[in-house]
Amino acid sequence: MTTPDKLLSRRSVLKGSAAGALGIAAVGGLAACSSDSDGASGGAAVTGPIAFGARTVDEQPTLQLRALVDAYSAKTGNEVTYNATESNAFQNNLSQYLQGTPDDTFQWMAGYRMQFFAEQGLLVDLSDVWAEIGDQYDESYKIASTGLDGKQYFVPQSWYPWGMHFRKSMFADLGLDADSVTTWDEFLSMLDGMKSKGLIGFAAGDKGGWEAMGTFDIINARTNGYQFHVDLLAGREEWTDDRVLQVFKNWEQLLPYMNTNVLDLEWDGATQLLLQKKAGTVLMGSWFAGDFKAQSDEDYFDLSIIPFPEINPEHGRDTIDAPIDGFCVAANGGNNAGGIDLIKFAGDMEGVQAMLDTGVPMTSANRGQDTSTYDAFQKEQLAVMAEAQYITQFLDRDTRPDFAGPVVGPAIQSWFRNPNDVNKILESLQAQWEALPPLS
């Protein structure tokens, strides 16, 4: 996984006393309320009310989270208020939210995005929680939950792999065997076959600006390997490198098999094409399966996943984007002790079970979730994961946030618009990386 400490050393940190010398410090009154975080007073019984902040308003995950919160209330008698925010809005406001009066426990992501806020002192150290429930998790999850200071600030909820999703019934109708599609050539000829039958081979949407980052991640990892991908995102390799150009050349080979309105559709448009059987495959994180389940069990159980095909034999299919979602406790929350108690419950098998009992599909990070109870689709996800040696989070979780969203997203969109501009786009990407301010 990307280690942001390397990012930090990318540039010499601006020294100098200029820091507060602007007189802007006088604006203090404008800043979000100062924090009077009442630390968890040891030993005292945890009492409510506790506020829980959900990063979703979608139906399926909401069912799951409400079940978790209700199970906690039922067990402890502590009142929990459930506050939901649409995920984009939640992300955009997170800095302000955490500096203001945040919910005690909130839903967030592992890796760089958690470490960034932990560094700023906005998250509560959860090392004690990990001491109690840590044995329920594999080491890799603990690493993903650990801040730059070596303490844990995150409790994982679930993970999902990014892979080629398809419908078993469609493959059967087309006479295709998914497991035999392992190389790039086999993949392209499969797409060709779909195209000749009037199908979209490789459904994609990138209106949101982030969706296609997953495609870039995987083609880069397949073409140039895990190490190059990680180094590129950390700024140790350059975007003008011929190897990056090759990624876009490979990607370009997929364009004829894509829907023509990539920039019109968001992720749910692309998965909708699969649901409607207009597209043969879609590269996406498996989380969207919940939508298929909401549609019907039949659609859900028709869903399957295989790893993205091999491009360069040197790297095989050794890397996968598998982001981890979970929870943090906000330092400025009104009830830190309550937040910690709730997050411990969420990470403990008991809480995980409450979420699983809703029947909403989830591949938990908790070792206690019996994989023999996985449904067929979840087992396939596990198999896809098992094949990978290297796990990345996702482009916008693996590189600087002021680069991913404002720079890479638009660059990929302009590439979709005009693939011939690739050299210009890559030069601009590199120039914009170099123009980024030093990390303080």
Partner 1 sequence: MSTTATNNKQVSRRRAFSKRDKITLGFFVGIPTALHLALVWIPAIATIGLSFTYWTGIQYSNIRWAGLGNYKNIFFSTPAFYDALQNNVIWLLWFFLIASPLGVLLAYQIDRQIRGHKFYQSAYYMPVVLSLAVTGIIWNFMLRPDGFINGLLGRDIDNAVSFFGNYDINIYVIMVIASWRHIGYIMLLYLAGLKAIDSSLREAAAIDGATEWETFRKIIFPTMKPVNIIIVVITMIESLRAFDIVYIIYGTSAGLPILGILVFQNIAGEGASMKGAAYAVILFVLSIGPIIAYLAQQFKEDVK
List of residues contacting partner 1 (CB under 8 A): 14, 16, 18-25, 27-31, 88, 91-95, 99, 113, 116, 120-122, 200, 207-210, 259-265, 269, 272-273, 276, 278-279, 400-406, 409-410, 413-414, 417, 428, 431-432, 434-438, 440
Q: Name which of 165 and 222 has its Cβ closer to partner 1.
A: 165
Rama region for 241: left / alpha / beta (φ>0; ψ in -120 to 50; rest):
beta
Shortest CB 27 distance to partner 1, Å: 4
H-helix or E-strand spanning residue 283: strand 279-285
Q: Go through 111-134 and write b for each residue having 16 or more CB atoms within 10 A of its CB, e for each that does not.
A: bbbbbbbbbeebbbbbeebbeebb
372 vs 440, beta carbon nearer partner 1:
440
Q: How far is the CB of 177 from partner 1 (least distance, A)?
A: 25
Q: How far is the CB of 137 from partner 1 (least distance, A)?
A: 25
Least separation, in Å, of the C-beta of 292 and partner 1?
16
Question: Which residue, 31 or 172, has its beta carbon nearer to partner 1?
Answer: 31
Beta bridge partners of 281: 166, 202
Cα 322–Cα 323–Cα 329 angle in degrees, nearest 5:
150
Residue 59's contacts (CB-CB under 8 Å, 6 or more residues apart) are 294
Supply 253's token pair.
């080979």
CB of 144 to partner 1, least distance (A): 17
Kindly state the smallest distance separating residue 417's Cβ from partner 1, in Å. 5
Q: How many alpha carbons fall within 13 Å on the CB side of residue 440?
A: 7
Q: Minimum Å distance from CB 335 to partner 1?
A: 22
Name the residue nearer to partner 1 (CB basis): 188 or 262.
262
Tokens 């035999």 belong to residue: 180
How many Å apart are CA 315 and CA 124, to the nearest integer?
39
Residue with tokens 């879609």: 282
326-348 residues labelled b (16+ CB within 10 A) or e (exposed)? bbbbbbbbbbbbbbbbbbbbbbb
Q: Which two tokens stand for residue 329?
A: 């406790």
Cα three-residue angle 377-380-384, rounded to 5 degrees:
140
The answer to whether 213 and 396 are in contact (CB under 8 A) is yes
Separation of alpha carbons 311 and 254, rounded Å: 13
Nearest CB to partner 1, comparing residues 47 and 413? 413
CB of 51 to partner 1, least distance (A): 21
Could you list the beta-strand ranges (E) of 117-253. 155-159, 162-167, 200-203
Kindly state the smallest distance separating residue 435's Cβ from partner 1, in Å: 4
